[in-house]
Amino acid sequence: MRIGIVSDTHIGYERFEEDAYRQALEALSKAAEMSDAIIIPGDVFDRRAPHPKIIADAIKIFREVEQKDKLGAKVLEKKGGDGKIYTQLPIIAISGTHERTTIGSENALSLLGLAGLLIDANEATVMLEKDGEKVAVYGLGGTSEELVKQKLKELDPRPVKGAFNIFMFHQSIYELLPFNDNFLRYDDLPEGFDLYVDGHIHGRVESETHGKPFIIPGSTVLTQLKDGEQEKKGFVIYDTLSNTHEFIAIGSRDFKVLHIKMTDTTPTAIADACESAIRKELDLHSDKPIIKLVVEGKLAHGYTGADLLLHSIIKKFSSRAILEVDSSKLETPELGLQIDDVRNGKLNGMPLKDMGMQMLSSRLKEYKYSGKIDAAKLFELLSAEASKEKTLKAALESLYSSYEAT
Ligand SMILES: [Mn+2]
């Protein structure tokens, strides 16, 4: 049997809503044309409570897939969960972390199951058949990382004799994301299955557990803008008879991370470097790509304000690329010194209070303030140790009275 594995479509993902829709539709339609059954390991929707418009989008996508009438596997039964099947279409899904609700079992994904657009396999085994070959899909919906091991113990999922067994779930895996001891390790997964399919992680992973293949197809839409998400999005087709699989790319929007690293330089030089890197990159794409600029390094002594120039670059290219700039790693030497000085209560060797007074009086000059209160008095009023309201009130009152006096 040919199984299409499509994951993390995130329909309704706000930032790239059109991409999420178009790419989910393309992945599911193509998978329907190329396989006998489709399995979806979670995060069909981006949100727990999708807007009706987004639910309508999802319904349209699944209706379109249904009309292809290509999926050749027959649905035999569902054991576990509510035990009910509302469609004969072999599209089997679980809820992901984005759909999980705390109250009861109903969530946006299970609604699609009740509507007969797919089969909700949460905590259930769905049996499929084609030409005498049986495939059993066990589904464990995304659950909290703290509870997942306990849950697996309680549920004790077992393979079905005489079938090709797939264990489908939606969790982090410690070996892939070593951040939290609660994460499942490969060895924690139940033994005896022929194929392990996971969602949740948006980059593609092909690995092994208990001597059997472990596959994460990755998301169909870009959501995290990480270096590891630059490869093409798509889905996997697994052939249960030959135990081989292939990745099918979809026409996902291109994504590129450009690292610009410069030291002892000026904001203008950084902006120029960014601009030429963007132009070079744009030559490689026919449509509007997503480009993330990671600006690192150090500005030369005396310079600040690189962000301002970078924002004007984003504007400049807005019709040709979706740009994001991360300049959080760009150091400003001045800033480092200033922070130390603030800590020591001094700026340029001047006590903090005098510095504040000087700033206020130069601002007043800048705005051509001609009132009677002098900067020193106003500063005293504004820096009084009272609540903001009280301080402002006192300052305004004396400003008014000084105007009245003139
Ligand atoms: Mn996801």
pLDDT tens-digit series, residues 196-252: 999 999 999 999 999 999 999 999 999 989 888 899 999 999 999 999 999 999 999
Distance 142 CA to ligand 1 centre (A): 10
Q: 211 CA to middle of ligand 1, Å?
A: 26
Give the 3-state DSSP-derived string for 330-345, with helices as H, strands as E and coil as C.
EECHHHHHHHHHHHCC
Is residue 301's pLDDT more than 90? Answer: no
- pLDDT of 406 over the 60 cut: no
How many angstroms is it from 338 CA to the middle of ligand 1?
41
Q: Is the pLDDT of residue 403 over 90?
A: no
**Ligand 1 center from residue 64 Cα (angstroms):** 23
* Predicted pLDDT at 86: 96
Residue 201 alpha carbon to ligand 1 centre in Å: 6
The rounded mean pLDDT for the chain is 91
Q: What is the pLDDT of residues 316-358, one digit of tens each?
A: 999 999 999 999 889 887 666 666 666 666 666 677 777 777 7
Q: How far is the CA of 183 from the centre of ligand 1 (A)?
A: 16
Q: Kindly state the tokens that stand for 62.
A: 């699944």
Q: How far is the CA of 120 from the centre of ligand 1 (A)?
A: 17
Q: What's the gap in Å between 99 CA and the centre of ligand 1?
A: 10
Q: What's the 170 CA to ligand 1 centre distance in angstroms?
A: 9
Q: How far is the CA of 36 from the centre of ligand 1 (A)?
A: 24
Q: Is 208 exposed, middle or buried (0-12, 13-18, 19+ CB in 10 A)?
A: exposed
Q: Is the pLDDT of residue 383 over 60?
A: yes
The reported pLDDT for the residue numbered 373 is: 74
Q: Ligand 1 mean position to 73 CA, how many Å?
A: 27
Distance 46 CA to ligand 1 centre (A): 7
Distance 290 CA to ligand 1 centre (A): 19
Ligand 1 geometric centre to CA of 219 (Å): 7
Q: Where are the domains of the chain?
A: 2-249, 255-335, 350-405
CB of 246 closer than 8 Å to CB of 237: yes
What's the rounded Cα separation, in Å, for the pair 23 and 4?
15
Provide the angle, in degrees to the nearest 10, between the axes of the packed helices 267-282 and 306-316: 30
Could you tell me the distance, in angstroms and rounded to a whole number, from the CA of residue 236 to the centre of ligand 1? 16
Distance between Cα 285 and ligand 1 center (Å): 27
Cα(41) to ligand 1 centroid in Å equals: 9
What is the 45 CA–ligand 1 centroid distance (Å)?
A: 9
For residue 50, what pLDDT is reported?
95
Residue range 117-132: mean pLDDT, rounded: 97
89 CA distance to ligand 1 middle (Å): 24
Question: Which superfamily does 2-249 belong to?
Answer: Metallo-dependent phosphatases (3.60.21.10)
Q: Alpha carbon of 370 to those of 373, 381, 397, 403: distances in Å? A: 9, 18, 16, 10
What span, in angstroms and rounded, lies between the C-alpha atoms of 360 and 380? 11
CA of 173 relative to ligand 1 center, distance in Å: 14
Over residues 174-193, the pLDDT tens digits come to 999 998 999 999 999 999 99
pLDDT at 360: 82
Distance of CA 67 to the CA centre of its chain: 31
Give first-to-last CA distance, the chain, whole Å. 91
The CA 200 to ligand 1 mean position distance, Å, reads: 4
Is pLDDT larger for residue 393 or for residue 92?
92
Query: Ligand 1 mean position to 318 CA, how many Å?
Result: 27
Rounded to the nearest angstrom, the distance between the alpha carbon of 214 and the centre of ligand 1 is: 17
Cα of 238 vs centre of ligand 1, distance in Å, is 21
86-104: average pLDDT: 89
Q: Cα of 221 to ligand 1 centre, how many Å? A: 9
Could you tell me the distance, in angstroms and rounded to a whole number, from the CA of residue 199 to the centre of ligand 1?
7
Least confident of 25-29, 42-46, 167-171, 345-349: 345-349
Residue 95 C-alpha to ligand 1 middle, in angstroms? Answer: 10
* Residues 188/169, Cβ–Cβ less than 8 Å: no
Report pLDDT digits (tens) over 33-80.
999 999 999 999 999 999 999 999 999 999 999 998 789 999 999 999
Neighbours of ion ligand 1 (CB under 5 A): 8, 43
